[in-house]
Amino acid sequence: MIDLQELLTKSLVAHDSQRDRSKQVEIGPSSLGGCRRRVYHELIETPQTNQTEKLAAILGTFIHSGIESVMEREDPFGDNYLREIEVSYGGIKGHVDLYIKSEGAVIDWKTKKKAGLRYFPSHSEIWQVQTYGYLLDANGYEVKTVSLVAIPRDGEMADIKVYTEDYNPEVAKAALSWLQELKDIVAGAGPAPDPEEKVAFCSKYCSFYDPSGEIGCPSTAK
Ligand code: SF4
């Protein structure tokens, strides 16, 4: 009898590892304002020291591509709903989930657990979406507002939460200087920033978690 849990797990992990990943170290907007130590390890290309739990991220990717195709039905030629635009500026590249041309609106979908909605949006998510706005702005798109839309995987339609604020390039610039500070530490061979997350999170979700602290990061608590 086929072990169906194993079949599904293996297929999901194989699919995930085949996804196009740039070999070059490039910090995307989603890392801005998160754990500084983690971005530091990404920048210095520390080898992976931990197998992370991937189901939520894989489901998140599936939900994103599902939403992209339903948006395509709404606007088949992408005249107004521009999906998955790749934009870069100043050494940072981002994929914008949706830009609505007629509104100058930038939208980022976030998949969550319903219980996590009370922390939505996080400071880092706001930095991320403002940075998408900044990248679009720098590439000639008119940007007026930025929005984050939280989709609870275990919730109902009515639980979907929308957060919108005016586009503010100063917020994006603050996010980019946060990243620049880390790049400066690396360039000057400065000390690694202190860990910022607790072991319960790190052991499940951080590829650099390393209880010994010899190669990766031991987290805030052992
Ligand atoms: S193990 Fe935790 S504290 Fe360390 S880099 Fe990863 S997320 Fe940050």
Domain count for the chain = 1
Q: Does the beta carbon of 208 sit less than 6 angstroms from any atom of ligand 1?
A: yes
Domain-embedded: residue 208: no
Q: Is residue 22 over pLDDT 50?
A: no
Exposed, middle or buried: residue 217 (CB in 10 Å: 0-12, 13-18, 19+)? buried
Q: CATH no. for residue 63?
A: 3.90.320.10
Domain-embedded: residue 168: yes
pLDDT of res. 50: 95
Helix ranges (H only) for 75-187 are 123-138, 169-187
CA atoms lying within 13 Å on the CB side of residue 75 = 14
Domain-embedded: residue 112: yes
Domain-embedded: residue 198: no
Q: Does the beta carbon of 81 sit less than 6 angstroms from any atom of ligand 1?
A: no
User: Coil, strand, or helix at residue 206?
Assistant: coil
User: Coil, strand, or helix at residue 81?
Assistant: strand
Confidence of residue 95 (pLDDT cuts 50, 70, 90): very high
| Whole-angstrom distance, CA of residue 36 vs CA of residue 193 | 6
**Could you tell me if 147 and 160 are in contact, meaning their C-beta atoms sit under 8 angstroms apart?**
no
- The predicted-structure confidence for 47-64, as pLDDT tens digits, reads as follows 999 999 989 989 999 999
Query: Which of left, alpha, beta for 59 (phi over 0: left; psi -120 to 50: alpha)?
Result: alpha
| Domain coverage including residue 144 | 54-191
pLDDT of res. 20: 55
**Ligand 1, atom nearest to 202 Cα:** 2
Q: Does the beta carbon of 199 sit less than 6 angstroms from any atom of ligand 1?
A: no
Q: Is residue 177 over pLDDT 80?
A: yes
Least confident of 8-22, 57-71, 88-102, 156-170: 8-22
Nearest to 182 by CA among 27, 49, 29: 27
Q: How far is the CA of 103 from the centre of ligand 1 (A)?
A: 38
SS3 per residue for 185-198 = HHHCCCCCCCCCCC
Greatest alpha-carbon pair distance for the chain in Å reads: 59
The neighbour count for residue 65, using CB atoms within 10 Å, is 9
The arithmetic mean of pLDDT across residues 112-140, rounded, is 96
**Ligand 1, atom nearest to 220 Cα:** 3
The arithmetic mean of pLDDT across residues 26-44, rounded, is 92
User: Coil, strand, or helix at residue 168?
Assistant: coil
Domain-embedded: residue 71: yes
Pairing of strands 105-112, 161-166: unpaired
Q: Is residue 35 over pLDDT 80?
A: yes
- The predicted-structure confidence for 182-215, as pLDDT tens digits, reads as follows 999 999 998 999 999 999 999 999 999 999 999 9
Of 134 and 79, more confident = 134
Domain-embedded: residue 213: no
Q: How far is the CA of 23 from the centre of ligand 1 (A)?
A: 22
Residue found by looking up tokens 């998408």 in the block: 132
Domain-embedded: residue 18: no
pTM across the whole model: 0.91
Estimate to the nearest angstrom the gap between the alpha carbon of 47 and the chain centroid.
Answer: 20
Q: How far is the CA of 45 from the centre of ligand 1 (A)?
A: 14
Domain-embedded: residue 11: no
| Whole-angstrom distance, CA of residue 167 vs CA of residue 57 | 27
**Ligand 1, atom nearest to 206 Cα:** 6
Q: Is residue 26 over pLDDT 80?
A: no
pLDDT of res. 124: 95
Q: Is residue 41 over pLDDT 70?
A: yes
* Mean pLDDT score across all residues of the chain: 92
| Whole-angstrom distance, CA of residue 50 vs CA of residue 199 | 12
